[in-house]
Amino acid sequence: MVRSARPARERVPLKIGAEARRAAGMRAEQVLAPVAEVPGDLVELGYIGDAYGIRGWIKVQPHTGKGDGLLAAECWYFRRPGESVYTKADVLHSRGHSGTVVAQLRGSDSRTAAEALKGLQVWVPRSAFPSAGEDEFYWVDLIGAQVTNLQDESLGKVVGLLDNGVHTVLRVVYDVPAVDDKPAKTAERLIPFVGQYVQTVDVEAGRIVADWGLDY
């Protein structure tokens, strides 16, 4: 018995290069809305690392903590690294998940749509953050604070924070004057942000007092 031959399947060319980028851009535009006026207090809180599931959810990797600021906001702002244009989208659902934040944005209803958003930085207005608890502080509020020790000697200025898995660490930079044939330079102190060392924090005044020596 002779079997009839099956018709050959039509070969669909793979989308690569510029065409693929255009297709991804169109899918992203279905979710992201232009921003007429950018809030002046936007804070970058993380980035979209991947799609989550098949129903259009995304997975956001927070830069710090558990993403409380992300979970509190009803609208997120987005920007691609190296670009200056912001877009935005309403957050329909969000929750914490294994150190990340998973969320569904309005207009994102498929994994394909979610994947088109990968790599976007996620920004939230500082005014949308939930109130911090007693003896709790948002990292963004500590950046730029002047740090002095118990002897009222200047230790420098907070330029960033680190999370070593045990506690937060302040990155404090200070100027080292020129000595003999050594030129002036900028150096850095790492001060654990724990009660043993940090005595007071005045966010309004931008001042932190730490039990820390100049020669530590």
**Amino acid 151: pLDDT:** 98
Which pairing describes strands 87-97 and 42-52: parallel, antiparallel, or unpaired?
Answer: unpaired
- Is residue 101 predicted with pLDDT exceeding 80? yes
Report how many domains make up the chain. Answer: 2
| pLDDT tens, position by position, 206-216 | 999 999 999 99
- Is residue 6 predicted with pLDDT exceeding 80? no
**Amino acid 16: pLDDT:** 46
Among 128, 161, 178, residue at a domain's last position: 128
**Amino acid 19: pLDDT:** 47
**Average pLDDT for residues 45-53, to the nearest whole number?**
98
CATH number at residue 162: 2.30.30.240
117 and 153: one domain? no
Pick from 103, 86, 105: nearest CA to 44: 86
- Is residue 2 predicted with pLDDT exceeding 80? no
Pick from 165, 185, 149, 176: nearest CA to 65: 165
Pick from 130, 191, 198: nearest CA to 162: 191
Q: Which domain holds residue 187?
A: 139-210
